[in-house]
Amino acid sequence: MSNVQNDSSKSLGEIASEKIIKLIIDNDWNVGDKLPNEYELAEQLNVGRSTIREAIKSLTSRNILEIRRGAGTFISQKCGISDDPLGLTFVKDKYKLALDLLEIRFMIEPQIASIAALKATKEDIDHMTTLCNEVEELILKNEPHMDKDIEFHRAIASSSQNIVTTNLVPIINSSIAIFMDITNMQLRQETIDTHREILNAIIDRDANAAHDAMLLHLVHNRRNIKQVIRDNKI
Amino acid sequence: MSNVQNDSSKSLGEIASEKIIKLIIDNDWNVGDKLPNEYELAEQLNVGRSTIREAIKSLTSRNILEIRRGAGTFISQKCGISDDPLGLTFVKDKYKLALDLLEIRFMIEPQIASIAALKATKEDIDHMTTLCNEVEELILKNEPHMDKDIEFHRAIASSSQNIVTTNLVPIINSSIAIFMDITNMQLRQETIDTHREILNAIIDRDANAAHDAMLLHLVHNRRNIKQVIRDNKI
């Protein structure tokens, strides 16, 4: 593997981090599983306890592990996806950033919806249906629906059976929410309608209709974000 | 901003990390700039030195900072893009992963090439030309060209003036190299030809030709990766 290189430049903590990752993979541990304690890890990996502590801290800030006080160290729900995976923290023009993120959604999400229409399993469809209903309910009750909305789009990506888009779509979509205040978005009815249209197209195995419904959904989103930008630039 | 929430659940180190990030943004510090020392940071942010040390360690593992022994702490060249931003470390089927990554390249890179043909500046074109020549030279000398190849594709993404694809394209492309041994790739002449074709189309401001040349380039890549997978599955 070309990613293992130049070991001499790595600190003990980094080497221990890699050993812990290997341990997780080899033992087939999953999200939420508890790691052996510091003492056992030090023993097993044949390194000092302070090195283990350093490794655990580093893996925690990489969102691979999660320390629950009093309970121990666990494999994080965040699956190692960092808080700002695309390195956008330092981008200054947040409006341009929001539009750039949306440009990527235009490139990938309609195609993902097409593939989902062809590849979604029965379980995928049940899951998407539940989320679509939940988002609709939240919107009608006037409650925050962003998290469920992102989950719905993630479920579509996951139905396309592509591991990478499943992780990438929520990163892109939540970045838009993080870097731009879109609480003023007035897309309640459009969101309900186009989400439902996407879902129905996938259920009907109609790849083109799924593509087009997703595209329409994004068009509404882009128009609205541009409106928010105009309003804020006054 | 909706990403600032639930401060009580954050450790002192995490809060200090956020303060350091704010300091970097507010002071307009750039990649390679040196941070004030531990003592000055502790003073400035009004926290203990051990907290600063913890924050610096965490920002280092997030690739935002970089410690050079004996020299100090600097803003990392990696711009805060983590080593495995998409959380792919734990994916088991590396062949499927390589094809899934490539599926995303098919979704975004031809469109990016089109946009680059419309938006590339004179400087962008000079930069792409240099990289195209360098990749060609390395291939003809039979030397490893992967890093320069990724840089060439990054330069195209950057020419589309989209901040996010500029960061995303190298992540996707280097992930393919990381997770799959593609040293056996036999695409020397195809790479030289299609890279040149993409570049010329961008120079000619021909968006369709740039799109199609990139698509052709990816088709060669996918065929070759599938061949490598077949060869390794024997």
Of A208 and A2, the one with more pLDDT = A208
A33 lies in some domain: yes
Same domain? For B61 and B119 the reply is no
Chain B, 122-161: which have a CB under 8 Å from a chain A CB?
Answer: 146
Which residue from A24, A97, A164 is facing B100, i.e. has the nearest CB? A164
pLDDT tens string A131-164: 999 999 999 998 888 889 999 999 999 999 999 9
Classify B143 in phi/psi space as left (phi over 0), alpha (psi -120 to 50) or beta: beta
pLDDT at A185 over 70: no
A208 lies in some domain: yes
CATH code of the domain covering residue B159: 1.20.120.530
Same domain? For A71 and A98 the reply is no
pLDDT at B229 over 70: yes
The total of structural domains in chain A comes to: 2
Give yes or no for B70 touching A (CB within 8 A).
no
Same domain? For A27 and A102 the reply is no
* Model-level ipTM above the cut of 0.95: no
Same domain? For A128 and A172 the reply is yes
Of B17 and B131, the one with more pLDDT = B131
pLDDT value of position B219: 95
CATH code of the domain covering residue B18: 1.10.10.10
The shortest C-alpha distance from A60 to chain B (Å) reads 9
Domain boundary among A41, A75, A109: A75
DSSP string computed for B4-68? ---GGGS-HHHHHHHHHHHHHHHHT--TTPBPPPHHHHHHHHT--HHHHHHHHHHHHHTTSEEEE
Same domain? For A150 and A229 the reply is yes
Interface size A-B, in CB pairs within 8 Å, comes to 145
Structural domain boundaries, residue B205: 94-233
Distance CA A132, CA A155 (A): 10
Same domain? For B145 and B61 the reply is no
Q: How many residues does chain A have?
A: 234
Which residue from B2, B54, B104 is facing A168, i.e. has the nearest CB? B104
B85 lies in some domain: no
DSSP E strands, A77-175 = none
B196 lies in some domain: yes
Same domain? For B46 and B155 the reply is no
Return the minimum-mean-pLDDT range out of B62-71, B125-134, B144-153, B173-182.
B173-182
Partner-chain contact A89 B164, CB within 8 Å: no
Same domain? For A58 and A125 the reply is no
Interface test with A, best of B86, B154, B169 (most A CBs within 10 A): B86
Partner-chain contact B82 A85, CB within 8 Å: yes
Same domain? For A56 and A103 the reply is no
The shortest C-alpha distance from A164 to chain B (Å) reads 6
pLDDT value of position B86: 82
The distance of Cα A154 from the centroid of its chain, to the nearest Å, equals: 7
Give yes or no for A94 touching B (CB within 8 A).
no
Of A231 and B36, the one with more pLDDT = B36
Of B56 and A184, the one with more pLDDT = B56
Give yes or no for B69 touching A (CB within 8 A).
no
Contact B78, B69 (CB under 8 A): no
pLDDT at A65 over 80: yes
B89 lies in some domain: no
A88 lies in some domain: no
pLDDT value of position A105: 96
* Six token digits for residue B180: 């799959």
Nearest CA in chain B to A68: B9
Q: Which residues of A touch B104 (CB under 8 A)?
A: 108, 162, 164-165, 168
Domain boundary among A21, A42, A75: A75
B208 lies in some domain: yes
Same domain? For B166 and B118 the reply is yes
Question: Mean pLDDT, to the nearest integer, of B122-138?
Answer: 97
A89 lies in some domain: no
Give yes or no for B33 touching A (CB within 8 A).
no
Same domain? For B110 and B215 the reply is yes
Return the minimum-mean-pLDDT range out of A39-43, A64-68, A159-163, B88-92.
B88-92
Distance CA A112, CA A156 (A): 7
Partner-chain contact B165 A100, CB within 8 Å: yes
Give yes or no for B94 touching A (CB within 8 A).
no
Same domain? For B39 and B115 the reply is no
Domain boundary among B42, B75, B108: B75
Partner-chain contact B79 A90, CB within 8 Å: yes
